[in-house]
Amino acid sequence: MKPAPFEYYVPRSLDEALALLAEHGYDAKPLAGGQSLVPAMNFRLAQPAVLVDLNNLADLAGIMADGEGGLRIGAMTRQRAVERSPLVAQRAPLLAETLPYIAHPQIRNRGTVGGSLAHNDPAAELPAVALALDARMRVRKQDGERVVAASDFFLGIFTTALEPDELLTEIVFPPLPPRSGVAFEEMARRHGDYALVGCAARVTLAENGKVSDSRLVFFSVGDGPVQAVAAAKTLRGQRPGPAAMRASAEAASQEIDPPSDIHASADFRRHLAQVLARRALTRAVDRASALR
Amino acid sequence: MATRLFGARVKRNEDPVLLTGRAQFVDDVHLAGMLHVAFKRSDYAHARLVSIDISEARAMPGVVAVYTAADLGDYWQPSPLLVPPPPVEGAVFNQRTAGQLARDKVRYVGEPMVMVVAESRYLAEDAVEKVMVDYDPLPAVVDLEAGVADTSSLVHDDLGHNIAAHVVQRKGDYEAARARADVVISRRMHYDRGTAAPMETRGVVAQWDALARSLTVWDSTQAPIPIRNGLAAMLGLAERQVRVIAPFIGGGFGPKIMMFYPEETLIPWAAMRLGRPVKWIEDRQENFVAMTHERGQVHDCEMALTRDGQILGVRDIFFHDTGAYDPYGLTVPLNTQCTLLGPYVVPHYTTEFKAVFTNKTVVTPYRGAGRQHGVFVMERLLDLAARELGLDPLELRRRNFIPPDQFPYNNKIIFQDFTELTYDSGDYEPVLDKARAMIGWEAWQAGEGARLRAEGKTVGIGLVMYVEGTGIGPYEGARVQVEPTGKVNVATGIGTQGQGHFTSFAQIVGEQLGVPMTNIYVSTGDTAQFSWGAGTFASRGAVVAGTAIHHAAVKVRDKARRLAGEALEVAEEDVELVDGFAQVRGAPTRRVALAELARQANPLRGAVRADAEPGLEATAYYGPEMGATAFGAHALILEVDPETFNLRVHKYVVVHDCGRVINPLILDGQVQGGVAQGIGNAFYEQLVYDETGQLQNASFMDYLLPTALDVPRIDIGHEETLSPLNPNGVKGAGEAGAIPVGPLFCQALEDAFQGGGLEILEIPLSPYRLWELVTSA
Ligand SMILES: Cc1cc2nc3c(=O)[nH]c(=O)nc-3n(C[C@H](O)[C@H](O)[C@H](O)COP(=O)(O)OP(=O)(O)OC[C@H]3O[C@@H](n4cnc5c(N)ncnc54)[C@H](O)[C@@H]3O)c2cc1C
């Protein structure tokens, strides 16, 4: 469990980092918290010839307010910093609620928000949350910048819209519409494990108390965050009582196509998806109702 | 009178170095010019080796040597059989042990084929990737029953079948008892594989000193003395030329006694051949496949009872998965046969097993060592019988206890130490009553359980009993010496892997010599310190080595009192040892320091008595005639999320009786740690193989050890029924925590899903499996 040989660079500036990526292309990998990349290298599942260490790029870390109610988080911000940020608790409560479920404090002390999103592990929490909150990814390369919507960013298992010479630099979370409630649920075998199934819910109520918009995003059930579009639609225009939420959760569990592995069959995952979706929707509605 | 040490809750002497990261483990041995080893291991569970090409690997930078089986010459040899089969009439045992590196054929994923020696482990692993192996894959034997079918692929072709052993033991006449029975409960039960997962993996460092012509080996082993003896014989050296040091060991649990692992004999050989120190530290990935496993068994069992719940007899026929080889003989399935009987009178018992060779990692004892399975079968059958008879499960147990006046109690079957299994002492009701009180059984039945259920909680309670055979022979020894500095040295040959020997052994000595703990230095696991003994296993350290230490300390005490009597001109009976002094009873100011006595006992000039032995020093040995049998009860209240099937333990109680307690703090730690492993075994840990014999979860990401967040705090109670076999009345405690957890979880879960018709006849469980069982019940 020792990595294959590699070259190691510690750029002092974002430009230097981008230049290194431009030079080495597919041979290079950016190193953020290393909590996913280094184990993969030790198993020799990943054998990058060049590592570009982002840990000296202080500009890439930080949590800032963005306009009225929005939030910007630098890609190199440690997960633990996000977890403890009052600003995040206030402006992106879903993010705050989710973070303690990611691994253990030791790992969150190193692991970064950008690293998790760029890695797009199908069992990871943050991609699902980013999708549920309509986050926007700010992406840089040597001669340009682009902004990618979460819905266009996560392309498949361990795959995103990032090109090899690009870095994710910042994630922007827009404010939630008024009368919106969010909730997060997951089922993991042990504290801190990747979930067997997890789910983020977001519900917006109209003035009349009916559902005007809702969103259910699962993880660990596919090749990245999986949005249950049809199931969320069944709630729209409904009064969000237990029966309606149960029906929506049930529909969601039929809409997804989860995998089987040694920890859970597809059927058990589907069962869990229905349970967790119902619980998450219920709490999200409670919270939204409280804001009315 | 000095404060008593034996029995005191003394903090552990070894903890300051351990907790501050200053304890020396094998990987902390760094020697000038040291080389590093990595192995190319089999990717297939079962395959013929067509060819192995090491030319590219040998040419890699930093590579010093690459060895295959062919390169070992005469040194290649199958490992010895550690435990010969027992003298059971008609027992069949087919010995097949592994050579150091596979040749011709590989029999499990992870079997070593090629050893690469390089300037660093990194370079060694780079070279391993360049070893080219041409395999001719064969069907793998994975399932036990398929393995004994005529059509099965053969793990050892020359054997003609896959049966490693077949043993039948009978007590009384089960068939006749069954014919008289009012009820017969019969079921099939499954127990699957797990791994001990010690925090420190295995590791060996060897250094050959060409000038002194001596070999030093640091080995993460539980049995340094047998390793020394075996290595000397294999390498053509005298035993005094070989020193084996088992320094601090980060957990052993049984698999670290599987001498000889291939790596254990290869690393010293390479160090001698290359003339440079050589290190191999097993990584976690290797550990999952190359360190021995345990636990795979399938039981067809039945129990015959009268209507009022008296056990008439038990019949148990089981398959035992021994893996690809069987170097540890029959210890594990024999323990299963013997431990099944538990604290109960079972007048008629038929037990039969077939050990089956499979294309999986070798099986040797792991904490509990087969005892789990026996307890599982017995306790589950009792629960099912209680349900069938409409009896309280605890009342059913109580009715069948061996009465306290029946000890020593001979079970009339052969145990792992080859003697008839005889319980030295026991008194089971007090343990049951205490556990019942501590868990709150009465209150639960009187309404607490119903109240929680009315709140919508899925909660259940359970209580199970067990016995644990401990403290078996053959023997251990120890030397105790008071230095002229006043410090006391204690040396014994067994290894230590976290059991607190540095403290409990010091307590035994301090008790006799009246010396404070801080002045007592215990050395374990260094063959240069003590040369005789077997090792730490089978919960025997405190019983066997502890008693040898006690005897040596008594000898030193007696000599000190005799010498002090002469010096102080009083009868030796009037001398007592207190706080480092020998003093006159009733006149404590008339005293002489033990240090002074030690000095006087080693004069530099003048005459001594012709038969005088120098120093305040003695050596003693102890070999018990048979094992001492500890026992206890575990009780549990748990809650299940009925939708996700995750568990939360509300309360966990252990009441344990291992005779006289040396140090309750250490004992509690042993129990707590054992329960943690038991909980892992019950609900988290399972080695999953696919049909080709590939291990599906060889990492801590997918092999789920419960962490501190998942293991509850355990309430521990003690009873003390002394063992008549040794002067301190002690019994072993190493495995008790791990043994009965499986059936306890099953019982409490069935209780939680009351009325659901749920029967749980297997371990390990998981939320997924529980969901399947509950939805199909
Ligand atoms: C024991 C353990 C348990 C864990 N449990 C969980 C869990 O429950 N849930 C969970 O979500 N995660 C879990 N993780 C993973 C953890 O959250 C990681 O920190 C995270 O997935 C990756 O973040 P990182 O900063 O460590 O990235 P790294 O490991 O450094 O990088 C990951 C990948 O992203 C790329 N990358 C990193 N930053 C950028 C960037 N700014 N731009 C472009 N590419 C980039 C890297 O090149 C690499 O390919 C666990 C990890 C461990 C070790």
Domain assignment of residue B96, yes or no? no
Cβ contacts of A4 on chain B, cutoff 8 Å? 126, 129
Q: Domain end: B263, B292, B321, which one?
A: B292
Edge-first strand order for the sheet with A63-66 is: A63-66, A70-74, A167-173, A136-141, A144-149
Range of the domain at B218: 196-292
What is the ipTM metric for this complex?
0.96
Tell me the pLDDT of chain A (292 aa) as tens digits: 999 999 999 999 999 999 999 999 999 999 999 999 999 999 999 999 999 999 999 999 999 999 989 999 999 999 999 999 999 999 999 999 999 999 999 999 999 999 999 999 999 999 999 999 999 999 999 999 999 999 999 999 999 999 999 999 999 999 999 999 999 999 999 989 999 999 999 999 999 999 999 999 999 999 999 999 999 889 999 999 999 999 999 999 999 999 999 999 999 999 999 999 999 999 999 999 998 7
User: In this structure, are B603 and B634 located in the same domain?
Assistant: no
Q: Which of B201, B643, B646 best probes binding to A when mutated, by most A CB atoms within 10 angstroms?
A: B643
Question: Which position has the higher pLDDT, B652 or B735?
Answer: B652
Domain segments of chain A as ranges: 7-53, 61-173, 181-290
Best mutation site among A76, A78, A102 for ligand 1 pocket (most ligand atoms within 8 Å of CB): A102
CB B111 within 8 A of CB B51: no
CB B52 within 8 A of CB B112: no
Q: Domain end: B292, B308, B341, which one?
A: B292
User: In this structure, are B665 and B645 located in the same domain?
Assistant: yes
User: In this structure, are B457 and B568 located in the same domain?
Assistant: no
Domain assignment of residue B383, yes or no? yes
Confirm or reject: Cβ of A226 under 6 Å from ligand 1.
Answer: no
- CATH architecture of the domain with residue range A7-53: 2-Layer Sandwich (3.30)
Instruction: Calculate mean pLDDT across residues B383-410.
Output: 97
Does residue B461 surpass a pLDDT of 80?
A: yes
A196 interfaces chain B, CB cutoff of 8 Å: yes
User: In this structure, are B608 and B631 located in the same domain?
Assistant: no
Considering CB atoms only, which of B126, B688, B696 is closest to A4? B126
Two tokens, residue A112 = 């970064």
Cβ <8 Å between B704 and A193: yes
Domain assignment of residue B649, yes or no? yes
User: In this structure, are B367 and B221 located in the same domain?
Assistant: no
**Total number of domains constituting chain B:** 4
Q: What is the pLDDT of residue A215?
A: 95
Cβ <8 Å between B126 and A263: no
Q: What is the pLDDT of residue A84?
A: 97
Chain A: residue whose CA lies nearest to B287 = A1
CATH code of the region A181-290: 3.30.390.50
Instruction: Calculate mean pLDDT across residues B75-92.
Output: 92
pLDDT tens-digit map of B598-609: 999 998 888 888
A61-173 placed in CATH 3.30.465.10: yes
Nearest CA to ligand 1 atom 10: A124
Question: Mean pLDDT highest for which of B52-61, B86-95, B488-497?
Answer: B52-61
B21: left (phi over 0), alpha (psi -120 to 50) or beta: left
Considering CB atoms only, which of A43, A44, A189 is closest to B704? A189
Taking the centre of ligand 1 as the mean of its atom positions, its distance from the CA of residue A32, in whole angstroms, is 8
Residue B398: count other Cβ atoms within 10 Å of its Cβ. Answer: 17
Query: In CATH, what number is assigned to the domain containing residue B342?
Result: 3.30.365.10
Q: How far is B282 from chain A (nearest CA, A)?
A: 10
Task: Please compute, for residue B537, the number of CA atoms within 13 A of its CA located in the half-sphere on the CB side.
Answer: 26
User: In this structure, are B578 and B604 located in the same domain?
Assistant: yes
pLDDT tens-digit map of B98-153: 999 999 999 999 999 999 999 999 999 999 999 999 999 999 999 999 999 999 99
pLDDT tens-digit map of B312-347: 999 999 999 999 999 999 999 999 999 999 999 999
Cβ <8 Å between B702 and A262: yes
User: In this structure, are B305 and B210 located in the same domain?
Assistant: no
Chain A: residue whose CA lies nearest to B283 = A1
Q: What is the pLDDT of residue B672?
A: 96
Cβ contacts of B767 on chain A, cutoff 8 Å? 187, 189, 196, 264, 268
> Dihedral of CA B284/B285/B290/B296: which sign?
positive
User: In this structure, are B468 and B478 located in the same domain?
Assistant: no
User: In this structure, are B368 and B297 located in the same domain?
Assistant: yes
Residue B1's pLDDT band (cuts 50, 70, 90): very low
Task: Look at residues B219, B236, B273 and name the one whose alpha carbon lies nearest to residue B67.
Answer: B273
Instruction: Say how far residue B150 (Cα) sits from the centre of its chain.
Output: 35
Q: Domain end: B292, B318, B351, which one?
A: B292
Q: What is the pLDDT of residue B3?
A: 58
Question: Which position has the higher pLDDT, B3 or B760?
Answer: B760
Q: How far is A275 from chain B (nearest CA, A)?
A: 7
Q: What is the pLDDT of residue B611?
A: 85
User: In this structure, are B273 and B301 located in the same domain?
Assistant: no
User: In this structure, are B641 and B776 located in the same domain?
Assistant: yes
Two tokens, residue A262 = 């040694």
Q: What is the pLDDT of residue A292?
A: 76
Provide the number of CB pairs (under 8 Å) joining chain A to chain B.
58
Does residue B537 surpass a pLDDT of 90?
A: no
User: In this structure, are B494 and B582 located in the same domain?
Assistant: yes
Q: How far is A68 from chain B (nearest CA, A)?
A: 39
| Percent of chain B topping pLDDT 70 | 100
Q: Which of B644, B687, B771 best probes binding to A when mutated, by most A CB atoms within 10 angstroms?
A: B644
What φ, ψ does residue A278 adopt, rounded to 5°?
Answer: -60, -45
Cβ burial of B475 (10 Å; 0-12, 13-18, 19+) is middle
Report the nearest atom of ligand 1 relative to the CA of A75.
41
How far is residue A208's CA from residue A223's CA, in Å, rounded to a whole number?
38
